[in-house]
Structure 1
Amino acid sequence: MTRSIYEQVLGAQFENLHPRIQERFGFSSKDHVASIGQGVMDRIWFAKWAALPLAVGASRHIMFPQGGRSIPFTIENYAYQDGHGRETVTWIRKFQFKRAVRHFDATMIYSTERERIVDYLGNKQHLAVDLDITAASNGGIRIRSGDQRFYEGLIQFTCPPQLTGTADVMEWYDEDMKKYRINVLVTNPVFGTVFHYEGSFEAQLIPLKHIPVDAMPLREEARE
């Protein structure tokens, strides 16, 4: 039986997650379900000095130079095997601002070579990011980014930390609210906070026959 990529990387730690977190992170392509959620981001903030690189990233669904409060939010997680036979999970995040829908998309795979989850940011998988994933003391899941690699045709290199952002993501289930809560903080070792959002959402598993075409990346990168 195929285990979810999060079960593979967490091992025995997976049992320390809250049951609702296990539900959201415990399905694989063999289960034919998707986790679909919607909620509100209480606050989205970005550093003004980072507006230009964030705008470039926005064209490929990697963060965006826009902020606000009480922003409607949706998240779609689909599990499938990609064209290279790797177990994959999508992260399709949409933020509904008054005049635009902003995207922050990614696809995660479990890399047997690296023995960790690799996160391909954006809709063209140009950035591959190593992830460190642990179970938090509150039953949530914590995801921290590590080395980042850029792939474009014959070009490939590891990105210097000074030119990138390190993400620290915390997702947990709030029993009082009966909702999932999320806090995402992206920082740069030189300039400090780059991007931040926090809020809450509800999510449920739904039966799935086919993954929507617009949830798939525009290209798949074989290099991990």
Structure 2
Amino acid sequence: MSSIFRTVMGESFDRLHPQLRRRFSVGLDSGQACVGHGVMDRIWHGNGLTAPLLKPFLALGGIRNILVPRTGRRIPFTIENVPYADSFGRETVTFVRTFDFPGGRRRFDATMIADPRGDRVLDYLGTHQHLASDLHLSAEPDGSLLIRSGEHRFREGPVDVRVPELVGGDAEVRESYDDTAGRFRIRVRVTNRRFGPLFGYEGSFTAEYRDVRSCGVRAGLRPVREEIRA
């Protein structure tokens, strides 16, 4: 069975920890979805210099479920990885993270497809897929998965522009499996090449697998608008 992640990673996919291979095998071929439940030990924003500058961007992004506009510790969260065929016939996997902050929930939405170039994943962010990022996936020697972002693009109507490095961020995601704890561990860090750390989070979760062919895609999980431009 294949998935968009196995397709992009090729033989290196088999070097992942068995639990990571199962988790990233979710797709239309397997018929499985993966839902994780856990706790973010820490969600942070920038440093003393960048944090005030970030606030308006994070607040604006929060309206469309892009990024996480709040910080905190020991925040319960859920991540839903559900495959479906989008309105353009592309196999798509949701990466919808819901954070249960005191006083209300916040979501960070993403949907992923295999990039037409075949060597990367295309990550659409937000409810309207305004932002698109190239993701490069690799297996680390310890069996963990390393994801690094590449070019970022902004799309709205006729607008299709590359996000300048001055205001963009380089994302690094590390996901591993802790055999002793029986949990997945996740660490995300986004930095700007000029201003330094922007935001990130780290935590752990357990996962359950569901038959997507019988349970389907729940209401509200898919983006409001889908973007054809890769």
Q: Which category of TM-score, normalised to the shorter sequence, fits these structures?
A: over 0.9
What residue number does 2:228 align with?
222
1:114 deviation in Å?
5.8
C-alpha separation between the residues in 1 aligned to 2:174 and 2:33? Answer: 20
Give the partner amino acid of 1:196: G
Give the partner amino acid of 2:152: Q
2:141 to 137, 143, 154: 137
C-alpha separation between the residues in 2 aligned to 1:40 and 1:199? Answer: 6
Secondary structure in structure 1 of the residue aligned to 2:67: coil
What residue number does 1:79 align with?
83
2:98 to 88, 94, 97: 94
Give the partner amino acid of 2:39: V
2:218 to 182, 205, 212: 212
C-alpha separation between the residues in 2 aligned to 1:194 and 1:70? Answer: 20
What residue number does 2:200 align with?
196
Please list the CA deviations of residues 70-129 of structure 1 after superposition, one character each: whole Å capped at 9, or x if unmatched: 100100000111111111110010111111111111000002246421000111111110
Q: Structure 2 matches for 1:140-219, cutoff 5 A?
A: 140-208=144-212, 209=214, 210-219=216-225
C-alpha separation between the residues in 1 aligned to 2:102 and 2:180? Answer: 30
C-alpha separation between the residues in 2 aligned to 1:181 and 1:113? Answer: 30
What residue number does 2:39 align with?
40
C-alpha separation between the residues in 1 aligned to 2:141 and 2:88? Answer: 35
**Is structure 2 residue 40 aligned with structure 1 residue 30?**
no
Q: Percent identity?
A: 45
C-alpha separation between the residues in 2 aligned to 1:27 and 1:98? Answer: 31
**Is structure 2 residue 124 aligned with structure 1 residue 120?**
yes
C-alpha separation between the residues in 2 aligned to 1:21 and 1:42? Answer: 21
Retained in 1: the 8 A contact 2:3–2:29?
no
1:177 deviation in Å?
0.9
**Is structure 2 residue 30 aligned with structure 1 residue 14?**
no
C-alpha separation between the residues in 2 aligned to 1:221 and 1:29? Answer: 20
C-alpha separation between the residues in 1 aligned to 2:104 and 2:45? Answer: 16
Query: How many equivalent pairs are there?
Result: 223
Secondary structure in structure 1 of the residue aligned to 2:226: coil
Consecutive unaligned residues of structure 2, counting only runs of 5 or more, are none
2:62 to 53, 58, 70: 58
C-alpha separation between the residues in 2 aligned to 1:30 and 1:64? Answer: 32
Consecutive unaligned residues of structure 1, counting only runs of 5 or more, are none
Give the partner amino acid of 2:222: M
Moved segments of 4+, more than 6 Å: none
2:115 to 108, 111, 118: 111
Give the partner amino acid of 1:72: P
* CA RMSD, 1 decimal: 1.1
C-alpha separation between the residues in 1 aligned to 2:84 and 2:140? Answer: 26
Comparing 135-144 and 106-115, the one that deviates more: 106-115
